[in-house]
Structure 1
Amino acid sequence: MATYKLPISSDPRQRMTFNAGGMNVSLTMYYNPIPDGGQWFIDLADAESDEVLVSGYAIVCGAPILKRMTLPFYFRLIDTSGLNLNPYGGNDMGSRCELHVIEK
């Protein structure tokens, strides 16, 4: 199983394309400041066909993200402090919290 750290930042709206498990994927990650502390979400699409795979999926630390889907990969949001806390506010992403892609 290959694991990749995605180049994310605290920018409240980010878009990137990557290849995992032989699939070209377009990832959009965005921050919603409501409720207090906010929440990060992802949208996924097939980068070649633009078919939407996932829309508006909240990401959290400590749990495999989208592992039960039939995609050839899943995500894990890692709290580098070791406390396993979700990102609080918009500034934790890309610093304390890292997003990793794990191929199945």
Structure 2
Amino acid sequence: MEERIADFIAALRAAGVRISIAESEDAFRATDRLGMKERQVFQDALRTTLVKENQDRPTFDRMFPLYFGSGGPPLQDLAQDLTPEEREMLAQALRALLEQMRRQGQES
């Protein structure tokens, strides 16, 4: 998730929002402390730490869903907490499910 937040900050900067390194660090600290499970709290933490000027709010509001989805908790890499063996098991299960869906599609 840290990489996604860093990419979001870079995109805001590219769109003209002035964000200092200290403000970026504040954003990481705030989201780390407040968590990411409650979408509105997560969004408010980023907005509060990254947006200083009212004129930048629309840019933030337009870009936030592009990086963190439009509903529910922000996108998370659920596989990051899996062991390599668990990741392989998940990949195998997904491949098997995909193959099953392909076969069912051909039978229709």
TM over 0.5: no
Identify, as 1 or 2, the structure richer in strand: 1
Which structure is higher in helix share? 2
Q: TM-score, normalised by structure 2?
A: 0.30
TM-score, normalised by the number of residues in structure 1: 0.30
Q: Which has the higher contact order (CA 8 A, sep 6+)?
A: 1
